[in-house]
Structure 1
Amino acid sequence: MTLDVFSAARLQHAAGNRKTGDAAFRVLPEQGFAEACKEITAWEGYAPTPLVSLDGLAARIGVARIDYKHEGPRFGLGSFKALGGSYAAMRVLQRELTKRLGHAVSLADIRNGTHRDICRQITLVSATDGNHGRSLAWGCQRFGAPCRIYIHAEVSEGRAKAMRDMGAEVIRIDGDYDDSVRLAKDEAETNGWFVVSDTSWPGYTEPPRDVMAGYGVMTREICETLDQAPTHVFLQGGVGGLAASVAAGLRQVYGSQAPRVVISEPELAACLFESARAGRATTVHIEEETIMAGLSCGEPSEMAWDILSEEASDFLTIPDAIVAPAVRLLAKAETGDAVVEAGESAVAGLAALIAARQDADLSKKLGLDARSRILLIGSEGVTDPAIYAEIMKGADHV
């Protein structure tokens, strides 16, 4: 295995301002994680996803251990998003049904179809780069609610079809992800629909909080499998919901022994990196789409930033050039580890880790050495077979 492409990569680094605070408990309370875990683990088809040990790669790049949480098998939907969008949809329906019926409605009632006739009158909408929308469409199909999904111009047709196949009405717009978020919000307000977003904004917090609580199932599985806390966790960016949820969950479990949080983002969509540099949530304009479709977000979730501004120690940007090689490294088992079929957004942390270990100065800044134990979140499997096939042919830009 050659690491030349990773050695040639130029990563940008910004130091976070990790400090003692309560955001990991205040924004995402432990009780919220517990309630989400109780519900989601009761769903038909629930099973923990694999935590894959990449011992060969760890030896190759000079660290003690790498654990890769492979979310490809999650509920047959291909990504960790299955945990968030569907659970948040249930919670939106629960709140609205309780309001309409004048008495408390349980999540079990919704899961079992008790109020399916009324659910048909409650339209849920969201914007997506693909995986969140697929999760929402799946949930709406199960619970009986109409679903409208807004996608931007660069979302692949394969991902759009997957949502249509689950009964969602898919609206493609000109513009980028942030434009689709705004349109979904505006049309929902006009028509009395309900937004189920994984990003928050002033006055809109409950569904994104529920989305992040759902992701906590994944973190719980990790902590129940590991025999000790990792020293580092590399987390992909996007709007920040995944990173904030995992960082908060790890802090709640491990306390002062929680791992160092390193955020990895595309250099083409680095809103968290720029937020770290500015010291506040900062929006960036996306001029060119990254190969990591699920991370092509220019506006951070303010709720997620509340957590990451306290918990993240480092922010990195990575070039697209190292993404496809990281996908192929896993798929071809180039280091003798188990074969893992991963999507483009899944390998942001992996690619950043490999590249960082080729740079002695950057490794020192990140506190990486031969004793480091790294946790990676493989956030998606093959969610678009056509794109994956192109990557496996050797295409670095698709």
Structure 2
Amino acid sequence: MLFLNPRATRADYPAELSAIMNIAQAHQSREWLSSWRGIHPNATPLYDLPDAAARCQVGRLCLKDESVRSHLGSFKALGAPIALVRQILRLHPDFEPAAILAGRYAQALRGYTVISATDGNHGRGLAAAAQDAGCRCVIVLHAHVSPEREQAIAAYGADIVRIAGNYDESVHEATRLAAAHGWQVVADTSYDGYEDIPRDVMQGYGAIAAEIVEQTSAQRGRAGTFTHVFLQGGVGGMAAGLASYFWEYHGPQRPRFISVEPAQADCLLQSAIQGRPAKATGTVDSVMAGLACGETSPLAWRFLQPCVDVFMTIEDEQAIEAMRALAQGSERDTPIVAGESGVAGLAALEWLRSDPQRSEQVGLTAESRVLIISTEGATAPREYTRLVGQSAEQVLQRQQAWQAAHSLQTQPA
């Protein structure tokens, strides 16, 4: 489904939004995380995919590969860890920010417990950060989170609580447990009276946009390299974190933003239709586990409503085909390991370009320059192998061979 947002504007980044999230805070978060062992020090690759661009009939297609951001395998390594750091600083303002995840204050934090619900990647990021900081972590998982993802979270020392419901019910259970035991919720979705930590999570994602600006030599206040940017939906946090950065940086010359989510977890699209944060209309059970969210984050919606131009949904089968296409690579495109949620942008682009009317509605032409974000790698390796027909290790071996043969430059000129 496709919905053109009548409330999207092209103006300077509003002061009221800048007071909540801004480039300066994004850079501070990036600096604080730079010394954490859970983050690789270099920017993640920005790949040119000329064959995929030709297939989609666009002028240029670039993919930002967040699978190599961290050993955690996803962009979530930027969100929960920095939110934990900022929350600890509220309690201990004398702590040195960069030293928190180095474990320097582990003794002082031994009695501190954080909790969150997750579809997988957020919980894994929080568990890893809590383990390094020295505090306890409890993670609530719903029925559709695979045992493989549970094991990946538990490997970082988190205590796991299982519930029978869906993601949104796991969010409510985490809130209940926190109130009952005096624990601190570190979630990536907001609700009434709970906005500071979700804001910190979203602000952390701004590091991705900052790297893209650097990698493309963009100039502030001017149109950048890309005319269209596809952003994964979920509760809206990742989309808000990146869109707000690009909006503040480019101003009225910002690219066109397109939000993508599973058809059965269409909370952002429904929010756009209704003009307020809304719930999904489907089962919220998708192979795109990281995007299987039923309720829009009200805080994220404050940023998305005025700047996302198009809201759309895709089917699970489209995501699986996109996973296979990226894994296969081509003569001019390096093979890429992209997980179920990571391929949403490519799947959406292919669907839009398969119909001239849809393309015209969103302004896609043969001259368009498109950015997609692969938000995760094979965070559930067995599931990845089942869906793609080859393992992530096999794809990475072919990627290494391809890049060696092509002397790949990962940062487009």
Q: What TM-score results when the alignment is normalised by the length of structure 2?
A: 0.89
Partner of 1:39: 32
| 1:140-289 mapped onto 2 (5 Å cutoff) | 140-228=130-218, 229=224, 230-287=226-283, 289=285
Pair 1:106-2:106 in alignment:
no
Between the aligned partners of 1:88 and 1:302, the Cα distance in structure 2 is 18
**Equivalent residue of 1:141, what SS?**
helix
Between the aligned partners of 2:70 and 2:312, the Cα distance in structure 1 is 31
Between the aligned partners of 2:357 and 2:4, the Cα distance in structure 1 is 13
1:27 CA drift (Å):
2.7
**Equivalent residue of 1:313, what SS?**
strand
Partner of 1:7: none
Partner of 1:339: 335
**Residues 84 and 186 in structure 2, CA contact (< 8 A), matched pair in contact too:** yes
Return the match for 2:324 from 325, 328, 336.
Answer: 328
Partner of 1:117: 107
Between the aligned partners of 1:208 and 1:38, the Cα distance in structure 2 is 19
Pair 1:66-2:56 in alignment:
no
Between the aligned partners of 2:313 and 2:264, the Cα distance in structure 1 is 8
**Equivalent residue of 1:344, what SS?**
coil
Partner of 1:26: 19
Which runs of 5 or more structure 2 residues have no equivalent in the other structure?
219-223, 391-413
Q: How many residues align?
A: 379
**Could you say if the C-alpha distance between residues 31 and 227 of structure 1 is closer, same or farther in structure 2, counting changes exceeding 3 Å?**
closer
Percent identical across equivalent pairs?
Answer: 41
Between the aligned partners of 1:50 and 1:61, the Cα distance in structure 2 is 21
**Residues 27 and 307 in structure 1, CA contact (< 8 A), matched pair in contact too:** no
1:290 CA drift (Å):
0.8
Between the aligned partners of 1:14 and 1:217, the Cα distance in structure 2 is 28
**Residues 23 and 206 in structure 2, CA contact (< 8 A), matched pair in contact too:** no
Between the aligned partners of 1:265 and 1:121, the Cα distance in structure 2 is 38
Matched letter for residue 214 of structure 2: E
1:106 CA drift (Å):
2.4
Return the match for 1:363 from 356, 359, 362.
Answer: 359
> Alpha-carbon deviations, 1:324-359, whole Å to 9, x = none?
100000001147410101000001111000110011
1:192 CA drift (Å):
0.6
**Equivalent residue of 1:299, what SS?**
coil
1:16 CA drift (Å):
4.3
**Could you say if the C-alpha distance between residues 288 and 75 of structure 1 is closer, same or farther in structure 2, counting changes exceeding 3 Å?**
closer
**Could you say if the C-alpha distance between residues 269 and 156 of structure 1 is closer, same or farther in structure 2, counting changes exceeding 3 Å?**
same
1:308 CA drift (Å):
0.3
Return the match for 1:83 from 70, 78, 81.
Answer: 78
Deviating more after overlay: 278-287 vs 218-227: 278-287
Partner of 2:303: 307
**Residues 57 and 335 in structure 1, CA contact (< 8 A), matched pair in contact too:** no
Between the aligned partners of 1:141 and 1:47, the Cα distance in structure 2 is 23
| Runs of 4+ with >4 A deviation | none
Return the match for 1:95 from 90, 98, 104.
Answer: 90
Between the aligned partners of 1:257 and 1:135, the Cα distance in structure 2 is 34
**Residues 16 and 309 in structure 1, CA contact (< 8 A), matched pair in contact too:** no
Deviating more after overlay: 41-50 vs 56-65: 41-50
Between the aligned partners of 1:318 and 1:239, the Cα distance in structure 2 is 16
Matched letter for residue 55 of structure 1: P
**Residues 24 and 251 in structure 1, CA contact (< 8 A), matched pair in contact too:** no
**Equivalent residue of 2:336, what SS?**
coil
**Could you say if the C-alpha distance between residues 138 and 312 of structure 1 is closer, same or farther in structure 2, counting changes exceeding 3 Å?**
same
Indicate the RMSD between aligned Cα atoms, in angstroms: 1.5
Deviating more after overlay: 46-55 vs 124-133: 46-55
1:105 CA drift (Å):
2.1
**Residues 37 and 217 in structure 1, CA contact (< 8 A), matched pair in contact too:** yes
Between the aligned partners of 2:324 and 2:305, the Cα distance in structure 1 is 33
> Alpha-carbon deviations, 1:22-70, whole Å to 9, x = none?
1552331233212101111232342211111111111122111111111
1:234 CA drift (Å):
0.6
| 1:344-355 mapped onto 2 (5 Å cutoff) | 344-355=340-351
Q: What TM-score results when the alignment is normalised by the length of structure 1?
A: 0.92
